[in-house]
Amino acid sequence: MSAGDGIVTSAEALSGQLTEWRRHLHEHPELSFQEHETTDFLERTLRGFGVDPVRKTETGLWFDIEGPRSGRTVLVRADIDALPIEEEADVPYRSGRPGVMHACGHDGHTAIALGVTKLLLERRGEIAGRVRVLFQPAEEKLPGGAPMMIRAGVLEGVDEAIGLHLMPMRLWAPGGVFPVGRAALIDGPAMAAAEEFRIRIRGVGGHGAAPHTAVDAIACATQVVNALQHIVSRQVDPLQPAVVTVGTFHAGYNFNVIAPQAELTGTVRAFDESVRDRMEESLRRIVRQTADAFGATADIEYIRGYPPLVNAAEQAEVVRGVIRDLYGTDALEAAVPMMGAEDFAYILQERPGAFLWLGCGSEELKAAYANHHPKFAIDERALPIGAAVLTAAALRLLER
C-alpha cells in the first residue's frame, strides 16, 4: 500500500457533498477582504468535522492535520473570494448578491479544500508529518490576501506548498476548452508579474493658435506612449517575455485649446524579477526625461503587483506523478506559461511548491467561458478530481 490508495474512490464518494458546498458558496459570493460569511461558513463546517481552525485575520483561516509520525509540513492552499461581476450564467444556484460573482472558480477551490480536509481526516494514519490547510482571502485584489496570511504566520513551520486553479478554458496556446479530467503543471515561471502604472503629464494650457505660449501635454504624452514601446523592443532581453500596454489616454478640453494635462494608465507584465526591476527603471526614466525634454513635468505612480509565480521542479514532479498514477498519463497536458497573475506566487517565493491548472470545461454544460467572464461556469466533476489530487500530493510530498 502506498499513500493515495483508494483516494479516487473516496473523493468520488464525496462528489455530492463537494457540489453542495460549492453551490452554497456560489450563491453567497463575497468580495476580496470581505469574506466574513464565507469564513463563518468554513468555521462551522470545519468544527462539524472536529477541526479547530486558527483565525488570525478578519477573513480566512487555517488549521493543521497531524499524522501519527512527526515529519515535515505541507501547506494546501485555497482562495475564497469572488469578483465584482454581475453573473450572467443561467444556473439555479446563481449569485444572490447583485454585482458579485464567483467568476474565477474560487468557490470550487474552497469546496475542494474542504474535500481535502475530509479525505485527510479519514487517512490521518497515513500522514507522515503534518498538513496545513489554508483558506486564503482576497486573491483578486491588490495587495492580495497571501502576503497578509504570511504576515499572520501561516508559513511558520511549513516546508512546501501546493495549490490549484480551476480553468474551463486553456489560457495558454492553443486555447480552447480545457476539459474535466485534464491538468497541466509546468516547471519554473508559470504566471507573470503584473504591475499597474498611472502617469500624469503636466504642461501649460493655452490657445491652440499660440503653441509658443504653452506646453502641449498631448504632444508630450504621445511621445511618452511611443517611447514606452521601446522598453520591450530595445531594452529587454528578446528571450524574456515582457509586455507594456498603455490602456487609457485622457487629455484635452476643446479643439482649439492646448491641453495642460494628460493622463495615461497601463500595465507591465514580465516573468523574471530582474526584467521587472529593469522595466520599472526604464519606464520611470523615459517618462521623466521625455517630459523634461518638452518642458513638461510628470508624476508617476507605479504599483508592483503580484510577483511571477514560479513552480519548483521537484515538487511539480511529485504532483505530476500523483496525477499520472491516479488518472493516467493522458490526464497531464503540456502547457506554456501565461501572462495572468496569481498571489499564490508570494507563498512560492517563500517555500518550494507547485500550482496546477485543473480542467473543468465542458461545451455541453456551457462551461466554456474563460475565468472572469460573467457566464463563467464549471463542470463540477472536476471537484473530486481536485480533492483527490491535492490530498494524494500532500501525502506523497510528506512520504518522500
In the complex with Ni ion, the residue whose CB is nearer, 104 or 338, is 104
Output DSSP code: residue 378. -
| Residue of closest CB approach to Ni ion | 104
Q: Minimum CB separation from Ni ion for residue 295, in Å?
A: 45
Q: Which stretch binds Ni ion (CB under 5 A): 64-72, 96-104, 276-284, 332-340?
A: 96-104
3-class DSSP assignment, residue 214 = coil
Q: Are 356 and 185 in contact (CB under 8 A)?
A: yes
Contact 18, 111 (CB under 8 A): yes
Instruction: Give me 51's grid cell.
Output: 477541526
Residue of 34, 258, 288 whose CA lies nearest to 138: 34
Residues of span 104-133 touching Ni ion by CB under 5 A = 104
Nearer to Ni ion, 108 or 266 (CB): 108
Question: Which lies closer to Ni ion via its Cβ, residue 220 or residue 377?
Answer: 377
Burial class (CB in 10 A: 0-12, 13-18, 19+), 93: middle
Judged by CB under 5 A, how many residues of this single chain contact Ni ion? 1
Stretch that binds Ni ion, among 36-44, 82-90, 103-111, 209-217 (CB under 5 A): 103-111
Residues 6 or more apart in contact with residue 316 via CB below 8 angstroms = 185, 186, 187, 354
User: Minimal distance in Å, beta carbon 307 to Ni ion?
Assistant: 16
Stretch that binds Ni ion, among 63-71, 97-105, 166-174, 215-223 (CB under 5 A): 97-105
Supply the angle between the helices 36-48 and 106-122 in degrees, to the nearest 10.
20
Query: Nearer Cβ to Ni ion, position 111 or 244?
Result: 111
Contact flags string 197-236 toward Ni ion, x per CB under 5 A: ----------------------------------------
Q: Which is nearer to Ni ion, 104 or 236 (CB)?
A: 104
Full 3-state SS string of 47-88: HHCCCCCECCCCCCEEEEEECCCCCEEEEEEEECCEECCCCC
Which helix (H) or strand (E) covers residue 277, if one does?
Answer: helix 273-293
Provide the mask over 377-396, with x wherever binding to Ni ion is found by CB under 5 A and - wherever it is not. Answer: --------------------
Confirm whether 139 is a catalytic residue.
yes
Residue 67 has φ and ψ, to the nearest 5°, of -90, 175
Which of 298/356 has CB closer to Ni ion? 356
Q: How far is the CB of 166 from Ni ion (least distance, A)?
A: 8
Closest contact distance (angstroms) between CB of 177 and Ni ion is: 18
Task: Give the integer Cα–Cα distance in Å for 400 and 398.
Answer: 6
Angle between helices 106-122 and 382-399 (to 10 degrees): 50
- Among the residue ranges 22-30, 39-47, 99-107, 356-364, the one whose residues contact Ni ion (CB under 5 A): 99-107
Which one from 30, 79, 87, 139 is the annotated catalytic residue?
139
81 labelled catalytic? yes
Minimum distance between the CB of residue 23 and Ni ion, rounded to whole angstroms?
18
CB of 76 to Ni ion, least distance (A): 16
Q: Which of 81, 107, 159, 160 is catalytic?
A: 81
- Cα separation, 366 vs 375, in Å, equals 9
**Active-site residue list:** 81, 139
Which residue ranges make up the site for Ni ion (CB under 5 A)?
Answer: 104
